[in-house]
Structure formats: structure tokens, C-alpha cells
Structure 1
Amino acid sequence: MSFFGKMFGGKKEEAPSTSEAIQKLRETETMLVKKQEYLESRIELELGIARKNGTKNKRAALQALKRKKRYEKQLQQIDGTLSTIEMQREALESANTNTAVLTTMKNAADALKAAHKNMDVDQVHDMMDDIAEQQDVAREISDAISNPVAFGQDIDDEDLERELEELEQEELDKELLGVGGPSTELPEVPTEEIKSKEKEKEKKKEVAAPSDPDMDPAMKELMAWAE
């Protein structure tokens, strides 16, 4: 049986959790700090007694200094104990944090494993191929529905182009020949102005014509041409 087992009656107790151990250490720290404060006040008190009786009662002054030395030794021991407890508490807090982190990570790993339990990589690839295939089928169906094959789509576009070119050529021919519209009609000839000019020309011929009947015919023709 171990020393601690003998000290605590040999009864094996279940180890406390890290949270419980940390709480106990904090309580112990609080108690030791209060003990420190008490010892510091006793040291000041005994020091005051020694000063007061230094010249009057030497024996009382020495006793006070002895008590002060004991209090200082206890205070030193408490300082060491507090340092040990503080390091132990920090180690437990770190272990508690690590335990919580590892527990969370394990839970996440278990959840991920459960999520992938009924999934297989090959099955996922097959499913994605099926989705792509169905999308292609849906696209072909949509194209077929939007293309009205049964509603006059058997007409040849080239025939329509040729017919349109023929119509355009006919319109162009009409424009060139001056047929088919008010814009191609020729302007009316001013007949009154022409008649007036012919009369003036005849008068000039009568004035310019020589009265001599014996004039050479060639000369007459030349004079007529000059007019």
C-alpha cells in the first residue's frame, strides 16, 4: 500500500476531473494567500514589539524577534507552495484545454465519418455523370420544342433569297426604264414656246431672203444654212 493510501485510510478514490482539480487548486491558492496576509501582519506586529522593548525590556524584544523569524519562515514556505500550486494549476488548465480540443476534433471526425459512411467515390462520379447526361437530354428536349419543325420550316431559304433578288431586279429595271412612278415621268414640253420660236425663225428667213430671182442656188443654200 502506498504512502498516500496509508495516510488517507487505504480507500481508493476515483480520480477527480481536471475541472474539479483546477477548482480545488484555486481554493487552496486563495487560502494560502490569506495565510500570507496574516503572517505579514504578524511580522509587522512582532517587529513593532521588538522596537518598543529594545531599550526597556530586552527579553521581550528578543522573543518578539524569534516569533518574527518563525513567521517569515512560514511565509517563505507558503510562497514556494503557491508557486508549485500555480504551476500545477496552469498545467491542468492546459491539459483541460487540450482535452476539450481533442474531444471536439474527435467528435468532428466521427461526424464526418458518419456522413461519408453511405457514400462511395465511384458512386459519386456515377451520379455526377448521370446528372450531366440528364442535363444534355433536357437541353435537347428544349431545343426540339423551340424549333417548330412541323409549321412550315420545310421551305428552302435559298429559294426565298432568289425570289427576293428577282423582285429587287424588277424594281430596278422599272426605275431605269422610267416606268412605274411619278418620279420617272419626263417633264412636259412647252409647246407654246416652241411655236413662238418657229415663227421668229420664219420672219428672219423672210427678211434675210434676197429678192433677186437670178441669185445662184448655191448661194441661196449657203445663206439659208447660215441662218
Structure 2
Amino acid sequence: MSGIWGWFGGGAAQKQKNNPKNAILGLRAQLDMLQKREKHLQKQIEEQEAIARANVTTNKNAAKMALRRKKGHEFALEQTMGQIEKLEQQINAIESANINRETLAAMERAGEALKQIHGKLTPETVDETMAKLQEQNQLSEEIVEAMNSVQVGHPIDDMELEEEFEALQQEQLDQKMLETGTVPVSDAIQRLPAAANGELKGKAPAVVDDEEEELRKLQAEMAM
């Protein structure tokens, strides 16, 4: 690297990076010395003015000499204050330049980081990736829907169910016949076919009597 970015690598780069700091430290040391000189000159000016005031009526020459020295101190004070002002301006300029440099370097590092993060990422690749994700999500939904639509187990045949139910009714009726020797009227009516039940409506008692008669005959035969 060259330019200001050379400050961020190697021993020489580190030395260059510290140059602004060292310059500011040197300027501040000089500024401190000048500020002390400023205070000293102000004190000298006050002392010479006091001497001039004390001798203004009694010793004209001493008073003039004191004023002359005072003028010399005032001239030196003006020079010192000018130097102080220039040093402060220089310190501010270096600090601002150093901050700008560090800010620019930080921004460059941020740019490099973003470049590494993005890599080959572009709006087109993002759109393509999102399209693939949407396609896969849609496929997942279709798979779930297909799985939920599959009927688990063998489908139930209503006809077979009805036949099994009638067989159970017959088994229960046979069991009651063996236990009591008679058939309950309600069971006998339930055993009649639906069509016959509609045609023989009002004649159920006669049919039941016939069935009871047949049952009695059957029981008699079984008893022989």
C-alpha cells in the first residue's frame, strides 16, 4: 500500500501512523512553554509599571527606564501570544487531519468488509435464490397436501358393514332363543325386511304369532 494506507502495516507504517501523535505532543510541549513565558512577561510588565509609578515624581530617569523595560516586555509578550495562537492553530489542524485520516481508513476497511461479505452476490443472484426458495416452499406444500389426501387403511364397504351388523343381530337372536326358548317381539320385528315391514304394516302381530308357532315346533322337535 502507498499513501495514507501505508500507515497501517509494518514497523515503518506504524512509525508513520505515530507521526501525527508525536507532532501533537511536541507542539503541546512548546505551547506549554510559551504559556509559561506569557505569564512571566505579564508579571514583568506589572513590576516595571509599578517601578515607573513609584519613581514618576521622585526619579524621572528610573521611571523612564522602567517604562522602557515595560515596552520591551510588552513587545515580547505580543510575539509570544502570536506564537501561542499559531501553535494552537497547528495543533487543531493536525488533530483534524488525523481524525479525517482515521475516518477515511475506517471507511475503507468497512468497504473491504462489505466487499468480502457480498462476494459474488448481486441483485440477479438474490432474485434467483428467492425464486428457488419459493419453488421449494411450494413443492413442500404440495407434498404435505398430497400426504394429507391419502386415505390411511382399507376403505370401508358399507354393504359389508351392514351384512356384519345383521350377522351380529342374528347371533344375538339365536343366543336369546337358546336361553329363553322364545324370540323377543321387538327383535322379530327388527329382523323383518324393510320392504316387507312397509307392506305388512298393521299385520305385525300375526306374523309374530306365526314365528312363535314355528319356534315352538322347532323346540318340540329338538326335545324329542
**TM-score (normalizing by structure 1):** 0.56
Select the structure that is richer in helix: 2
TM alignment of 1:75-154, pairs within 5 A:
75-151=77-153
TM alignment of 1:5-20, pairs within 5 A:
17-20=19-22
- What percentage of residue pairs aligned between the two structures are identical? 35
For residue 25 of structure 1, report the CA deviation from its aligned partner: 2.0
* Residue ranges of structure 2 left out of the alignment (5+ in a row): 1-14, 158-201, 203-224
For residue 147 of structure 1, report the CA deviation from its aligned partner: 2.2
Q: Which residue of 1 aligns with 2:188?
A: none
Q: Which residue of 1 aligns with 2:70?
A: 68
Counterpart of 1:58, as a letter, is K
Q: Which residue of 1 aligns with 2:41?
A: 39
CA deviations on 1:148-184 (whole Å, 9 max, x unpaired) are: 43557799xxxxxxxxxxxxxxxxxxxxxxx9xxxxx
Q: Which residue of 2 aligns with 1:165?
A: none
CA deviations on 1:176-207 (whole Å, 9 max, x unpaired) are: xxx9xxxxxxxxxxxxxxxxxxxxxxxxxxxx
Whose radius of gyration is greater, 1 or 2?
1
Q: Distance in 1 between matches of 2:93 and 2:121?
A: 42
> Are residue 30 (structure 1) and residue 25 (structure 2) matched?
no
- SS of the equivalent of 1:107 reads helix
CA deviations on 1:115-164 (whole Å, 9 max, x unpaired) are: 12243444333322221111111111111222243557799xxxxxxxxx
For residue 72 of structure 1, report the CA deviation from its aligned partner: 0.2
For residue 41 of structure 1, report the CA deviation from its aligned partner: 0.4
Counterpart of 1:97, as a letter, is I
Counterpart of 1:131, as a letter, is L
- SS of the equivalent of 2:39 reads helix
TM alignment of 1:172-183, pairs within 5 A:
none
Q: Distance in 1 between matches of 2:26 and 2:41?
A: 23
Counterpart of 1:83, as a letter, is E
Q: Which shifted more, 142-151 or 84-93?
A: 142-151
* Residues 142/154 of structure 1: CA separation in 2 closer, same or farther (3 Å cut): farther
Q: Distance in 2 between matches of 1:59 and 1:153?
A: 136
* Residue ranges of structure 1 left out of the alignment (5+ in a row): 1-13, 156-178, 180-227
- SS of the equivalent of 1:17 reads helix
**TM-score (normalizing by structure 2):** 0.56
